Chains A and B, each alone.
Chain A
Amino acid sequence: MAKYVGERVKRTEDPRLIKGLAHYVDDIRLPDTLHVAFVRSIYAHGKITGIDTSEAMKIPGVVAVYTGKDIADKVGPVPCAAALPDLKVPDYRVLATDKVLFVGHPIAAVVGTDKYAVRDAVEHVGVMVEELPAVVHVIDGVPTTPVIHEHFGDNIAYKLTSGEGDIDAAMKAADRIVTQKMVHQRLAPIAMEPRGVLARYFPGEEELTVWSSTQIPHLLRTQLALMIGIPENKLRVITPEVGGGFGSKLNVYAEEALLGWISIQLGKPVKWIESRRENMQATIHGRAQVGTVEVGVKNDGTITGLRYNVVADLGAYHQLLTPAIPTLTGLMLSGAYKIPAIQMNVTGVFTNKMSTDAYRGAGRPEATYVVERVMDVIARELNIDPVEVRRKNFPAANEFPFHTATGLDYDSGDYAAALQKALDLAGYQKLREEQKKSRDNGKLIGIGVSSYVEICALGPSQAMPAGGWESATVRIEPTGKVTILTGASPHGQGQETSFAQIAADELGVEINDITVIHGDTGVVQYGIGTFGSRATAVGGTAVLIAIQKLKEKASKIAAHMMQCEESRLSFEAGCYSREQATAAAAGKSEPVVPVGQAPAGALLEPETNGRTKLTIQEIALAAHIAKEIPPDTEPGLSATYFFEPKNFTFPFGTHICVVEIEKDTGETKIVRYIAVDDCGKVINPLLVDGQVHGGIVQSIGQALYEEVIYDDQGQLVTGELMDYALPKASQLPWFETDRTETPSPVNPLGVKGVGEAGTIGATPAIVNAVVDALAPYGVTHLDMPVRPEKVWKIINGRSA
């Protein structure tokens, strides 16, 4: 019986966090640690003509300065795991050698005994750069000159066409073609904890330990071993507390390899903590697509086909997944709709900027935005309510699994039901009436709807660059405590709690008897990590199945101990019980060891003679003492499972946003926000709400405030949080959230994932609402972020 799953269980990870006693990378203090600071390019594009480190070396406390030339052939390049046909992959050295290609490009590493001294010394490293013109903007297509990587001949990293169906025929079958150009501006993920690395090499043992604020400890270990040239079994990666990732730490960075290598050179621990300025310059960015969507529609609103031609601004180099992100956009272009033919033509372009890569949603927010924004454009052109256009094109609940013209099979869904629930919650008809009245009174009210589908639980290994499974080990220790080792690497999502909920129900033990361990390659079996809303759907399933395996063994031992056939055992509330022979026996009370407590007087063998009931924790003790287990059974009580999903999962929902625009300032105020999400079965509603809220706010950030801006010379204008506008508490509405629950058939938990839902689903709802509010001014589309000055200009008759 579910005692914990489905309940609003408070997080077990919180006490250490609210007391300030948790350990993020910078909180780990090792004796004799040296500090590292980086000299970075202040130019977007240039030729390095000389580096003078002599003055920096004179700063007291500085022990070494490394330049690209020192290590060019000693540390391997920053890896790209994306495999696309004819992809051009530049050689991405961990320190720049001949040229600098973006502002923030690392040029030299300064090492010293004091963190203030190394930052001083950075200022004293002389870097001579012959500045070159920069390739910056892709708004008008592919920039041809200068060529950033000269040996490639042009700035095109790849071109790819994807999709199914006869797109030309589909367009011909339409009554009209609706076209809209859209900009998905560059965003900065901004985990509140910047990146950080601590590396310690033991020369005697030849062992390197790297603490890094990462989402993928095992994949990082493999890649660092290759880059540094250290055997993988001599390298341990530990992710202590991680202060947010949002995809920005789903990567392998130059600094991680450099710190490991420097520690090996100096035989001491070395630490680098990223400053926020470095974070803006040299941690991956997201989005950055400029595309035009064309949709064939019948006069009744039925969509016949969709084509999306897009230029993706990749930055100067490929980070781990850079070129693959736009391909996720291509996969999700069917949105929540039946579209017989879909085609995406993507051109990935090199620019003199930081790489783009996976930022929360990673390619799917772009797809949702394209589809949900254009649905409103269609509704406007056909003079149909936006809700009706959506309904018209939904697959019905009985059409699942539903095959899309992007090559996916949506697992389960009832899109109309989620839409209806959101409409009811919002009071949609009444809202429209109020909007009309407000307009008559000169007020600018807008209502925006977004019905999204996302692709989660990444994913089957066939579709992933480095494995799409996840692992779990579950052990019951001799004292009855339960240890779970997960290959997922949560960093705020709360899986220490939700995995313990799953295990507590399945094992019938108290949640406080369970510890979930993650993020340490020296302790945890190989895993993939936390990203793509996968940890619970894939990693949680691995936990569940590992427990089931463990119970198969426990059941054999229980039968042996109670001297009966296994078929005569039942398991409930943490106890194996033998079928009672007589009514009298059934009423006889049994000495049961309280959950979580070892029998008094050290590790004595549990008394089994004549027993008809044993807790799984008593069985664990017996399994370790191993005197009374079946002869063909291994001692100990643990099980490991690597779960390979057969498909992705496809959460969905409808969001409704109501905005009011202040005419005097052009400021958009979100008056109401209604979110109905379906993420399949819910393990912990409290955590799901948290994910939804946070995701929506990142969407609000993209829709209204945030933008990474490079000027025409490639200089980063938004270099600090003073210039990059993150949403604040005072700018946000009270979210009205609800759910429908359509279990996923892809995993036995029925969960779909929710980490990215808000970020994927919300942006178009907000922009649709703003455009709707400005309809009286003839506005049919606005590019994000819809900041006050843009709106003010429209209201005041100036060009936006």
Chain B
Amino acid sequence: MKQAISINVNGVDHSGEVEPRMLLVHYLRDVLALTGTHVGCETSICGACTVLLDGQAVKSCTVFAVQADGANVTTIEGLAANGNLHPVQEGFWECHGLQCGYCTPGMIMTSTQIIDRHPNASREDIRHGLEGNLCRCTGYQHIVEAVEYAAAKKASA
């Protein structure tokens, strides 16, 4: 039995019917073709699927699409407003905060929330904030630097 939902994703309204068991990440990827959000573990450990749901970073592999009914979702594709990179995206590029890039969209979404909540985050705060996101390539150091870069950039903006 399908259920009707309407979700605003990256500022665009979408309505449709989905199976109640459809995961939000599959709705984003398979229905809306927003494939920037990745699936890395299906158990909410790795954070590759992190998106903002009404401004909160969530793991979209463990949220049903029907739970996002009526909500605003921001994915990695919606971050570069008017084609300008978000300071976090810029930081990841400047500081070599990514290698294979698979965890990156989730890392970036989580990082936006870290600097929103803690504009003066210490390195320890940043590392703590990144605990729910796994990266197998970078060893995290350049990611921490990327978040620091973004925080400084945002503060000076």
Given contacts A190-B136, A492-B137, A728-B134, contact A690 B100 (CB under 8 A): no
Instruction: Assess whether A732 is interfacial by the CB under 8 Å rule.
Output: yes
Q: Residue on B with the closest CB to A242?
A: B100
Instruction: Assess whether A191 is interfacial by the CB under 8 Å rule.
Output: yes
Q: By the criterion CB–CB under 8 Å, are B100 and A23 in contact?
A: no
Instruction: Assess whether A687 is interfacial by the CB under 8 Å rule.
Output: yes
Q: By the criterion CB–CB under 8 Å, are B141 and A492 in contact?
A: no
Instruction: Assess whether B13 is interfacial by the CB under 8 Å rule.
Output: no
Instruction: Give CA–CA (A17, B103) in the complex, Å.
Output: 10
Instruction: Give CA–CA (A276, B134) in the complex, Å.
Output: 13
- Chain B 102-118: CB-based contact to A (< 8 A → 1; otherwise 0): 11110010000000000
Q: By the criterion CB–CB under 8 Å, are B131 and A729 in contact?
A: yes
Given contacts A690-B142, A729-B144, contact A734 B123 (CB under 8 A): yes
Shortest A707–chain B CB gap in Å is: 16
Instruction: Give CA–CA (A509, B126) in the complex, Å.
Output: 40
Shortest A521–chain B CB gap in Å is: 21
Q: By the criterion CB–CB under 8 Å, are A276 and B128 in contact?
A: no
Given contacts A192-B136, A694-B139, A721-B46, contact A17 B101 (CB under 8 A): yes
Q: By the criterion CB–CB under 8 Å, are A243 and B102 in contact?
A: yes
Q: By the criterion CB–CB under 8 Å, are A694 and B138 in contact?
A: yes
Residues in A whose Cβ lies below 8 Å from that of B35? 20, 23-24, 26-27, 29
Shortest A197–chain B CB gap in Å is: 16
| 9-residue interface stretch from B1-9, B65-73, B88-96 | B88-96
Instruction: Assess whether A260 is interfacial by the CB under 8 Å rule.
Output: no
Q: Residue on A with the closest CB to B134?
A: A726
Q: By the criterion CB–CB under 8 Å, are A20 and B127 in contact?
A: no
Instruction: Give CA–CA (A480, B8) in the complex, Å.
Output: 45
Q: By the criterion CB–CB under 8 Å, are A20 and B43 in contact?
A: no
Residues in A whose Cβ lies below 8 Å from that of B39? 26, 273
Residues in B whose Cβ lies below 8 Å from that of A494? 99
Given contacts A192-B40, A491-B100, A722-B43, contact A730 B127 (CB under 8 A): yes
Instruction: Assess whether A591 is interfacial by the CB under 8 Å rule.
Output: no
Q: Residue on A with the closest CB to B106?
A: A192
Q: By the criterion CB–CB under 8 Å, are B93 and A192 in contact?
A: no
Q: By the criterion CB–CB under 8 Å, are A22 and B101 in contact?
A: yes
Instruction: Assess whether B155 is interfacial by the CB under 8 Å rule.
Output: no
Given contacts A192-B135, A722-B45, contact A694 B99 (CB under 8 A): yes
Q: By the criterion CB–CB under 8 Å, are A729 and B98 in contact?
A: no
Residues in A whose Cβ lies below 8 Å from that of B40? 192-194, 276
Shortest A26–chain B CB gap in Å is: 7
Residues in B whose Cβ lies below 8 Å from that of A192? 38, 40, 46, 48, 100, 102-103, 134-137
Shortest A693–chain B CB gap in Å is: 3
List which A170-218 residues lie within 8 A (CB) of chain B. Answer: 190-194
Instruction: Assess whether A493 is interfacial by the CB under 8 Å rule.
Output: yes
Q: By the criterion CB–CB under 8 Å, are A116 and B36 in contact?
A: no
Given contacts A18-B92, A191-B136, A690-B137, contact A492 B76 (CB under 8 A): no
Q: Residue on B with the closest CB to A726?
A: B134
Which of A10, A11, A694, A696 sits near B136, CB closer than 8 Å?
A694
Residues in A whose Cβ lies below 8 Å from that of B128? 729-730
Q: By the criterion CB–CB under 8 Å, are B101 and A492 in contact?
A: yes
Q: By the criterion CB–CB under 8 Å, are A735 and B93 in contact?
A: no
Q: By the criterion CB–CB under 8 Å, are A24 and B38 in contact?
A: yes
Instruction: Give CA–CA (A449, B148) in the complex, Å.
Output: 31
**Chain B: how many interface residues by the 8 Å CB criterion?**
59
Residues in A whose Cβ lies below 8 Å from that of B60? none
- Chain B 144-156: CB-based contact to A (< 8 A → 1; otherwise 0): 1000000000000
Q: By the criterion CB–CB under 8 Å, are B80 and A19 in contact?
A: yes
Q: By the criterion CB–CB under 8 Å, are B21 and A693 in contact?
A: no
List which A1-45 residues lie within 8 A (CB) of chain B. Answer: 10-11, 13-15, 17-24, 26-27, 29
Shortest A657–chain B CB gap in Å is: 14
Instruction: Give CA–CA (A283, B89) in the complex, Å.
Output: 32
Shortest B153–chain A CB gap in Å is: 14
Q: By the criterion CB–CB under 8 Å, are B143 and A275 in contact?
A: no
Given contacts A14-B92, A19-B89, A722-B43, contact A697 B100 (CB under 8 A): no
Q: By the criterion CB–CB under 8 Å, are B108 and A18 in contact?
A: yes
Instruction: Assess whether A513 is interfacial by the CB under 8 Å rule.
Output: no
Residues in A whose Cβ lies below 8 Å from that of B123? 734
- Chain B 48-69: CB-based contact to A (< 8 A → 1; otherwise 0): 1000000000000000000000
Residues in A whose Cβ lies below 8 Å from that of B38? 24, 192-193, 243
Instruction: Assess whether A241 is interfacial by the CB under 8 Å rule.
Output: yes
Q: Residue on B with the closest CB to A737?
A: B141
Residues in A whose Cβ lies below 8 Å from that of B136? 190-192, 244, 246, 694, 698, 726
Residues in B whose Cβ lies below 8 Å from that of A276? 40-43, 46
Instruction: Assess whether A686 is interfacial by the CB under 8 Å rule.
Output: yes
Q: By the criterion CB–CB under 8 Å, are B43 and A244 in contact?
A: no
Shortest A530–chain B CB gap in Å is: 12
27 A-B pairs, CB-CB below 8 angstroms? A10-B93, A18-B76, A20-B105, A21-B77, A29-B35, A115-B30, A116-B21, A192-B137, A193-B40, A244-B99, A244-B102, A273-B39, A275-B42, A694-B137, A695-B139, A697-B139, A722-B43, A728-B130, A729-B126, A729-B127, A729-B130, A730-B124, A730-B128, A730-B130, A732-B140, A734-B123, A735-B139
Residues of A participating in the B interface, judged by any CB pair closer than 8 Å: 10-11, 13-15, 17-24, 26-27, 29, 115-116, 190-194, 241-244, 246, 273, 275-277, 491-494, 686-687, 689-690, 693-698, 720-722, 726, 728-730, 732, 734-735, 758
Q: Which 9 A-B pairs have the closest CB atoms?
A: A20-B36, A243-B102, A492-B100, A693-B139, A20-B76, A17-B101, A492-B99, A697-B139, A27-B35
